[in-house]
Amino acid sequence: MSIIEKAVDKMMGKMDSPTATTPRPHTHEDTAPIQEPTEDVAERSASDGLPLPASETLEAIEEQVPVGDSITAIEAVDTGSSDAVPSTDVLSLSSLGLEGILPLNSERSRSAEEYRMIKRPLLTRAFSETAAGEAHRNLIMITSSVEGEGKTFSSLNLAISIAMEMDRTVLLVDSDLAKPGLSRLLKINNLPGMTDRLIDDTLDLRDLLVKTDIPKFSVLPAGRRHRRSTELLASNTMRQLLDELAMRYSDRIVLFDSPPLLATSEASVLAEQMGQICLVVESGVTPQFLVKDGLSQLTSMDKVSLILNKCKPNLFVGKYGYGYGYGYGYGYGYGYGNDER
252-288 pLDDT tens trace = 999 999 999 999 899 999 999 999 999 999 998 999 9
Burial 80-115 (b: 16+ CB within 10 A, else e): eeeeeeeeeeebebeeeeeeebbeeeeeebbbbbbb
pLDDT in the model for residue 236: 93
Q: What is the DSSP letter of 212?
A: B
Q: Has residue 282 been placed in a domain?
A: yes
- CA dihedral angle for residue 183, residue 180, residue 161, residue 101, rounded to 10 degrees: 70
Q: Same structural domain for residues 215 and 304?
A: yes
Q: Same structural domain for residues 102 and 244?
A: yes
Q: Are 159 and 170 in contact (CB under 8 A)?
A: yes
> Does residue 329 carry a pLDDT above 60?
no
Q: Same structural domain for residues 112 and 236?
A: yes
Q: Same structural domain for residues 125 and 221?
A: yes
pLDDT in the model for residue 107: 63
Q: Has residue 341 been placed in a domain?
A: no
Percent of the chain with pLDDT strictly greater than 70: 64
Confidence of residue 305 (pLDDT cuts 50, 70, 90): very high
Confidence of residue 249 (pLDDT cuts 50, 70, 90): confident
Nearest to 131 by CA among 280, 15, 281, 246: 246
* Helix, strand and coil in the chain, % to nearest 5: 35, 10, 50
How many domains does the structure of the chain reveal? 2
Residue pLDDT, tens place only, 108-119 = 788 888 999 999
Residue pLDDT, tens place only, 18-77 = 444 444 444 444 444 444 444 444 444 444 444 444 444 333 333 343 433 332 232 333
- What is the span of the domain harbouring residue 54? 3-79
- Torsional sign, CA 197, 202, 206, 207: negative
What would the mean pLDDT of 77-87 be, rounded to a whole number?
33
- CA 191 – CA 188 distance, rounded (Å): 6
Nearest to 211 by CA among 82, 87, 83: 87
Q: Has residue 322 been placed in a domain?
A: no
- CA 96 – CA 140 distance, rounded (Å): 25
| pLDDT higher at 175 or 15 | 175
Q: Same structural domain for residues 130 and 205?
A: yes
pLDDT in the model for residue 134: 72
Confidence of residue 4 (pLDDT cuts 50, 70, 90): low
Nearest to 115 by CA among 280, 288, 298, 320: 280
| Strand (E) or helix (H) holding 290 | helix 288-295
Distance of CA 323 to the CA centre of its chain: 35
Q: Same structural domain for residues 45 and 116?
A: no
Q: Are 195 and 232 in contact (CB under 8 A)?
A: yes
Q: Are 182 and 175 in contact (CB under 8 A)?
A: no
Residue pLDDT, tens place only, 127-167 = 987 765 677 899 999 999 999 999 999 999 999 999 999 99
Nearest to 42 by CA among 26, 29, 59, 30: 59
Which residue(s) pair with 62 in the sheet?
none
Confidence of residue 240 (pLDDT cuts 50, 70, 90): very high
* Domain of residue 207, CATH code: 3.40.50.300
Q: Same structural domain for residues 151 and 259?
A: yes
- CA 181 – CA 168 distance, rounded (Å): 25
Q: Same structural domain for residues 26 and 108?
A: no
pLDDT in the model for residue 310: 86
- Contacts of 245 by beta carbon, 8 Å cutoff, 6+ apart: 139, 171, 173, 205, 252, 254
Q: Same structural domain for residues 72 and 104?
A: no
| pLDDT higher at 192 or 57 | 192
Angle at 151 between CA 225 and CA 221, to 5 degrees: 35
The reported pTM is 0.68
Q: Cα–Cα distances in Å, from 83 out to 48, 87, 208?
A: 33, 9, 18
Q: Has residue 85 been placed in a domain?
A: no
Q: Same structural domain for residues 128 and 20?
A: no
What would the mean pLDDT of 78-107 be, rounded to a whole number?
64
Q: Has residue 86 been placed in a domain?
A: no
Q: Same structural domain for residues 71 and 132?
A: no
113-118 long-range contacts, CB within 8 A, separation 24+? 113/324, 114/327, 114/329, 114/330, 114/331, 115/157, 115/158, 115/160, 115/161, 115/331, 116/161, 117/331, 117/332, 118/158, 118/161, 118/278, 118/305, 118/307, 118/331
Q: Mean pLDDT score of the chain, rounded to an integer? A: 74
Q: Has residue 165 been placed in a domain?
A: yes
Read off φ and ψ for residue 334, nearest 5 degrees: -140, 115
Q: What is the DSSP letter of 146?
A: S
Min mean pLDDT across 66-70, 183-187, 228-232 is at 66-70
Q: Same structural domain for residues 139 and 171?
A: yes
Which residue(s) pair with 25 in the sheet?
none
pLDDT in the model for residue 99: 84
Q: What SS3 state is found at 220? A: strand
> Does residue 243 carry a pLDDT above 60?
yes
Count of alpha carbons within 13 Å of 190, Cβ hemisphere only? 1
Confidence of residue 199 (pLDDT cuts 50, 70, 90): very high
Percent of the chain with pLDDT strictly greater than 90: 46
Q: Has residue 331 been placed in a domain?
A: no
